[in-house]
Each structure stands twice: as C-alpha cells, then as structure tokens.
Amino acid sequence: MDIRLGNSDNRLIQALTERWRPTTHTFLFPCAEIGAIPLNFTMLTSLSIGRYLTQVPYDDTWSILSNARQLLPNIDSSHIKSGNVSIAHLRTYLTVAADRDGDITIARAFILFMMGHLWFQMANDTVPLGYLAAVNDLDWAAQYDWGSAILASLYHGLDTAVMTEGAITGFVQLFPYWFYEYYRVGHL
C-alpha cells in the first residue's frame, strides 16, 4: 500500500496558518473572519462530531514493549523512541499477504498509521504507542468520537504553530479542501 500525503498545497496551508487566530479559532482575512466549524469538518470528512459519547482512548501502558508486541508483533526496541513508534515501522505492516491471519494486525497498523500520519500527526513522524488503546478492540473503534478528537487536535496544532512559530501539526490536509470549497475555487 502506498499512501502519499505530500501532495498538499503547503503554501496555502502556510498562508492559512498565518491568518489563524488562536483566541477565536478563526482565520482573519481582509474581507472577513471565518472559522472552519464542526459542520464544515463533518461535510468534508464524513466524520461526525459529538454523535458518539465515547472518547478516543489513550493509555501509556501500551508504551511498554511487551504490551505493544501484543498488537504489533514485529516491533522491537529499535522502533520505539520516547514511547512513540516510527511511521516507517507502521508502513511495514501495510502489505497484504496471502496469509490472512495477519489481517487484524494490518487493520490495526493502518488505523494507527492514519492516527499518527494524518489525523493527529506530530512533527517527528512518530505515533504515541498510547494510541494502541484505540485499536486494541476494533469492535469499539466505530463508537469513538473521532471527529471531535481530530478537530481538537487540529485546533491545538494551529494554536501551537502560531504561538510558538513552530511546525504545523494536526490534520492540516483538510484546510486546502475547506478553502477551495468555501471560496468555490474550481467551481463553475
């Protein structure tokens, strides 16, 4: 599986970040102050906000190597740094083999990959192993309030980037789509 996320309009993301106001969670444009509200998020991602009452779980006990091996059998100490697993290691699970016994591991690794590389991304290309709590029981995963967690992470990432002039984190790939849709770029 080849997932390429580098095709985002980085200049647009940077320009939007420069217009972000952490106090109001809005973008300040010359013509108006506009926010990416939960309805926009839901319309663009199909992830509802507040529909499910169960928060996405996080548990630091998964940072212990023996615990992490329960869900990621090929992990070893070289793949873990400060309680985080590298995105590169997660990619090694994302291949479909004739042996179907590993399907559940592939599904868990894919969701963990999406959490760390897209939804809750960090600047260092790693995923906290505490997120394994969210994929431990995949039957519950559909009941989590993913939308609220992802949008809150995005707001936090933008707030931090603006206040510290650091890296932009969170699901920033959403913003070009939001901008193009809101401003009708490319629409006839």
- Which positions of the chain have pLDDT values less than 50? 1-4
Give yes or no for a contact between 175 and 26, defined as CB atoms under 8 angstroms apart: no
Coil, strand or helix at 85: strand
Sheet of 33-34, strand order: 20-21, 26-28, 33-34
What pLDDT is stored for residue 185 in this prediction? Answer: 76
What pLDDT is stored for residue 158 in this prediction? Answer: 92
Coil, strand or helix at 131: helix
What pLDDT is stored for residue 1 in this prediction? Answer: 35
What pLDDT is stored for residue 97 in this prediction? Answer: 66
Same domain, 102 and 77: yes
Question: From CA 158, how far away is CA 79, in angstroms rounded?
Answer: 28
What pLDDT is stored for residue 26 in this prediction? Answer: 92
Which residues contact residue 113 at a Cβ distance below 8 angstroms, ignoring those fewer than 6 apart? Answer: 3, 87, 90, 91, 94, 127
pTM, to two decimals: 0.80
What pLDDT is stored for residue 7 in this prediction? Answer: 59
Same domain, 135 and 67: yes
DSSP code of 91? H
Same domain, 27 and 47: yes
Domain holding 136, by residue range, is: 60-143
Same domain, 136 and 72: yes
Q: Report pLDDT digits (tens) over 129-159.
A: 888 888 888 888 888 899 999 999 999 999 9
What pLDDT is stored for residue 162 in this prediction? Answer: 93
What pLDDT is stored for residue 3 in this prediction? Answer: 43
Strands (E), the chain: 20-21, 26-28, 33-34, 80-81, 84-86, 126-128
Q: Report pLDDT digits (tens) over 108-133.
A: 899 998 888 888 887 778 888 888 88
DSSP code of 46? -
Same domain, 114 and 131: yes
Q: Is residue 121 part of a domain?
A: yes
